Amino acid sequence: MTHHSDLNFLEDLFLHTASLCLWRFSPSFELEYSNSLTVAPLKNIFTLSSSFQYMQEHFSEKNTPVFLFDDLFFLWAAVPESVNDSLHAVYLLGPVFSSTTSDSYVKEKMDIQNMSVKSQKTLLDIIEQIPVMPTAFFSRYICQLYYTLNGISLSTDQICMQTQTAMPVAHTKKEEASAKHDSYFLETQLLKNIEDGVLFSNFSSLFASAQIGLMCPGDPTRQKKDEAISSTTLFTRAAIRSGVPAETAYNLSDYYIQSVEAARTITEVIQITETMYSDIVRHIQAIRQSTATSSLVRDCQAYIDSHLTEAPDFEQLARELGYTKYYLTTRFKKESGMTISEYLMSRRIDYAKTLLNNPYMNIQEISESLHFSTPSHFSSVFRKLTGMTPTEYRKTLH
């Protein structure tokens, strides 16, 4: 049975440090309590969605926490409390966004749901208060709550994921076939958003519930890995079409494919794919923000981006572009607002953030791969640009 003082403390901690609300459902899935200030509209969104049905089906078979994605764009987590191996209560955490959500996407989803103008206005007001929290971070709160409720430690790879949207029992063969392959329109829209540098809201939900063909029957983890690799290939091509240097895009692709292959669970695969997706979109956003600069400066930036793990020769670059090194560095500073060295360090630190996601690389290896003189120099530059050391940053990821 739950220690109520511990649960109350955890509830306050979640609410005041992460704006994370707690909901309690009875074993028959009746809402008994919530500390949310907007209970009615959020309750309606969740309980009327397919996630509510999926949650009931999940706990009829399992007693492990599960990520849930409702019919709009919210991410939730359901955590069971068990007494004598029987379901005593279900605690719901959320909602949160797994990535930044655009207003246009929110409005589009509300139109699809045929929400009234008044309901839309209410929901848009609520959305401003909902935190953005990647699933990797959200997982930690789930583990803490599960331990408080059951006195049992839980690892993040034990958290289940809603793998499909609940469907009516009676459906046609045509619907079954369409469920096996993502909508071509959805794929086209997703790739267009990537090329435009716009984060697609609820990406984790889309990828978790998608099935790009039946590539590996009988092995769901291998199936999801193959889907992730296919997505990485598509996203890499979209990045190159958007102006990301091919070498940069392929380096990212290689890293994330290796990370996917090293993953042990479906949850890990989804988290890695979500990170890959956000990383590629950030690179495209950076390219688009630099379009105001001249082709000379863009060529210089592209050269730096493709030589982050080398010692770039700017004398040689200037000669190849037909200018002196002095002219190149002066023009670069005037248009970009930073020196070439500052830009190089900034891009290396951005790439270091990607490498820090790889638990098999230590700080010294990352420092050496990015041509820092010493690990302490790398740490000093990293802290200057991010406000934390590489070790502190890695802890926020894992």
Q: What is the CA radius of gyration of the chain?
A: 23
* pLDDT tens column, 262-312: 888 777 788 788 888 888 888 887 776 655 567 788 778 777 877 777 777
The mean pLDDT value for 130-137 works out to 74
Report which of 353, 366, 246, 255 is spatially closest to residue 306, judged by C-alpha positions: 246
Q: How confident is the model at residue 208 (pLDDT cuts 50, 70, 90)?
A: low
With a cut of 60, say whether residue 168 has pLDDT above it. Answer: no
With a cut of 60, say whether residue 318 has pLDDT above it. Answer: yes
Q: CA-CA distance, 157 to 154, in Å (whole number)?
A: 8
Please name each of the domains of the chain with its CATH number: 4-161 (3.30.450), 173-288 (no CATH), 293-397 (1.10.10.60)
| pTM for the model | 0.46
Q: CA-CA distance, 128 to 14, in Å (whole number)?
A: 18
Tokens of 236: 């890499």
Tokens of 47: 């309980």
Q: For residue 344, how far is the Cα from the chain centroid?
A: 26
Question: Can you give the length of the chain in residues?
Answer: 398
Enumerate residues 6+ apart whose C-beta is below 8 A from 226.
Answer: 212, 215, 216
Q: CA-CA distance, 370 to 309, in Å (whole number)?
A: 5
With a cut of 70, say whether residue 104 has pLDDT above it. Answer: no
179 with 226: CB under 8 angstroms? no
* pLDDT tens column, 50-60: 889 889 999 99
